[in-house]
Structure 1
Amino acid sequence: MQNHFGEIAGVLTAVFWTVTSLAFESAGKKVGSLAVNLIRLVIAFFLVGTYSWIARGFFFPTDASMYAWKWLAFSGLVGFVIGDLLLFQSFVLIGARIAMLLMALAPPFAALIGWLLLGEVLAPQSWLGMAVTMTGIIIVILKREKSEENGVKIRRFKSSYPIQGILLALGGAMGQAAGLVISKKGMGDYDAFSATQIRILAGTVGFSILFVFIKRWPRVWAALKNGSAMKRITLGAFFGPFLGVSFSLLAVQHTQAGIAATLMAIVPVLIIGPSILLFKEKVNWKEILGAVITVGGVAMFFL
């Protein structure tokens, strides 16, 4: 179990992100994705600070080196401000399930960036596990449609979702991958939760400056008065920036970035259960097959 601590942290991250993606999709449709982004970071900052104070005696990460501050702050700007800004807006346009499918491209992005920045090399079995996991995710989400052109029946994979939402989700995948790898470079052996707090602080500052220029502060104040949205944002902040991001850093701290990113990418499969229970969606054979394949791909990392 100890030998696979990083992989286990990656799977738990996927569980946490399943909860937060559903919560933030709902909240974003009520008050807008930009307001959700900033408010959840502020809530998460105090959650992480309280935990760190109890666990380490530091509410604020004053014991971090300047090297860690520099790289973790940079990763916070890349991951939270750029990556999550794009991802959360894609939630509003195409929904959490399709957005998280496209986020499955984060693993190869992370592996490529990890190779360029950290010199990480994945074993052949890890590459195979990554491919199997991603195949299962794609099977769960995509559907094949029949069409007829010039009297010839054609079967193809076709998206009926706005191209803008797809591009936003792809940008979110790249931002998450880059932020993850940069975090690993800056974190080293430093506490993952305190490292998360530095990233959150950088993201909060980045969004605050952005809101000044685009004049979005009135929407933030309005969102704070929306009780229903605030409940969802608080739930998402607990499972997202607090637990999810912290465990993602634990994952990359104890295993390779590409492996960690792949395990985190099983969110689209994990969403199936809550979708059945909460939204009464029906699950077909393709989704069951995709779930089995995805679990098989995850298992390959533990062999």
Structure 2
Amino acid sequence: MNPLFAPSFSLFSAVGGTYLGQSIALAVAVSWTVCALLSETVSRRLGAHVVNVLRMVLSLLFIGALLWVCTGSPLPPRADATTWGWLLASGLVGYVFGDYCLFNAYLLIGSRFGQLFMTIAPAVSAVAGWILLGERLSPQALAGMAVTMTGIAVSILGRGVPDEEGEGRRRRKVRLNLPTRGVLLGIGAGVGQGLGLTLSAVGLHHYAAGWAHGAAATAPTAAEHLRWLLPFAATQMRAVAGLPGFLLLLFLAGKGGALRRACTDGRGWLLMAATVVFGPFVGVSLSLMATQYTSTGVAMTIMSLSPVLILWPAHVLFGQRVTRREVVGALISVAGVALFFV
């Protein structure tokens, strides 16, 4: 192995000190915000099915290149069958189901509401951990779920209107401000993300344990220098499941022609490359890395700021009207996420 980037990363760790994990988590929040804005733009240009396929292709290429430069091989090093199993399952659930819902939600309700529904993910992850892993579901976590759902409701529900025109008609107390299908897709995105996070956490735990065991038996110093690559390798394994899944969905939807046309769209490729850099390549990988340098609670709370960070750019870039009610709802949702971890 060639620990090419180890000295610079060690220097970064020393400079970051005790705030390295928090800094990484904030970078993740910004990265996901940029990725969401780019994803909405490129999905409207190329279509959600095409975007998901190309995103997986570029993610595999980018991470493969990184692994090749650092380790001499484009494949995840020292990953056993158990690690592959958990991370492939995470890719199917988090990418194929979750991102299918998310990118189609972007087309119907926009990236800012899509990111708002992603605050459901910690609640789903907590429930999944309780059911699948026997983890404790605390009263504080239940309160966090309630607060998160309240924040989403504040953002997407409005005052009711009469069922029909005319005096004396019954008036609905509340109404949904968004298309129902968009809301369902947003919920699906949050559920997929939460389940995928639980599965990937288990897979990364197995990966780290196997890595440590292998390092002790071979070259511990070099292996420890390259430990920071584990989240990137884990993301690559998830993408290995994501690519065939998205290809199947694309051809079932009859979008093969759209994929061929997208291959000659230079601006589309540029947007796709930027989306991958800020999403699967940097954002997802750094999100796994952040929990290695600070507590999961602090990292997840900071990373959950995307629904708030995205409001102003969405207004400036897309001309979307952002109401005070939506700002309050986003803040409440993020506060609910924080209750899971603080």
TM-score (norm 2): 0.74
Identity between Structure 1 and Structure 2 (%) = 39
The match for 2:267 is 228
User: What is the number of equivalent residue pairs in this alignment?
Assistant: 301
Cα pair distance change 1:125/1:84, threshold 3 Å: same
> Does 1:183 find its partner at 2:181?
no
Residue by residue over 1:86-109, the C-alpha shift from the partner in whole angstroms, topping out at 9 and shown as x without a partner, is 211121122222222222222211
Query: CA–CA distance in 2 between the matches of 1:11 and 1:119?
Result: 30
> Does 1:77 find its partner at 2:92?
yes
Cα pair distance change 1:248/1:99, threshold 3 Å: same
> Does 1:27 find its partner at 2:32?
no
- Superposition RMSD on alpha carbons, in Å? 3.4
What secondary structure, in the 3-state scheme, does the structure 2 residue paired with 1:59 have?
Answer: coil
The match for 1:96 is 111
Kept in 2: contact 1:106–1:262 (CA 8 A) = no
Shift of 1:214: 4.5
Higher RCO by CA contacts (8 Å cutoff, separation 6 or greater): 1
Structure 1: runs of 5 or more not aligned: none
Structure 2: runs of 5 or more not aligned: 1-15, 209-229
Cα pair distance change 1:293/1:91, threshold 3 Å: closer
> Does 1:144 find its partner at 2:144?
no
Shift of 1:172: 1.7
The match for 1:67 is 82
What secondary structure, in the 3-state scheme, does the structure 1 residue paired with 2:161 have?
Answer: strand
The match for 1:159 is 176
Query: CA–CA distance in 1 between the matches of 2:269 and 2:70?
Result: 27
> 2:184 is matched by which residue type in structure 1?
L
Task: Please identify the structure whose Cα radius of gyration is greater.
Answer: 2
Kept in 2: contact 1:35–1:223 (CA 8 A) = yes
Query: CA–CA distance in 2 between the matches of 1:282 and 1:232?
Result: 24
Query: CA–CA distance in 2 between the matches of 1:138 and 1:11?
Result: 26
What secondary structure, in the 3-state scheme, does the structure 2 residue paired with 1:64 have?
Answer: coil
Query: CA–CA distance in 2 between the matches of 1:175 and 1:2?
Result: 34
> 1:167 is matched by which residue type in structure 2?
L
Alignment partner for residue 317 of structure 2, among 269, 278, 286? 278
What secondary structure, in the 3-state scheme, does the structure 2 residue paired with 1:15 have?
Answer: helix
Query: CA–CA distance in 2 between the matches of 1:161 and 1:123?
Result: 32
Kept in 1: contact 2:119–2:148 (CA 8 A) = no
Cα pair distance change 1:180/1:227, threshold 3 Å: same
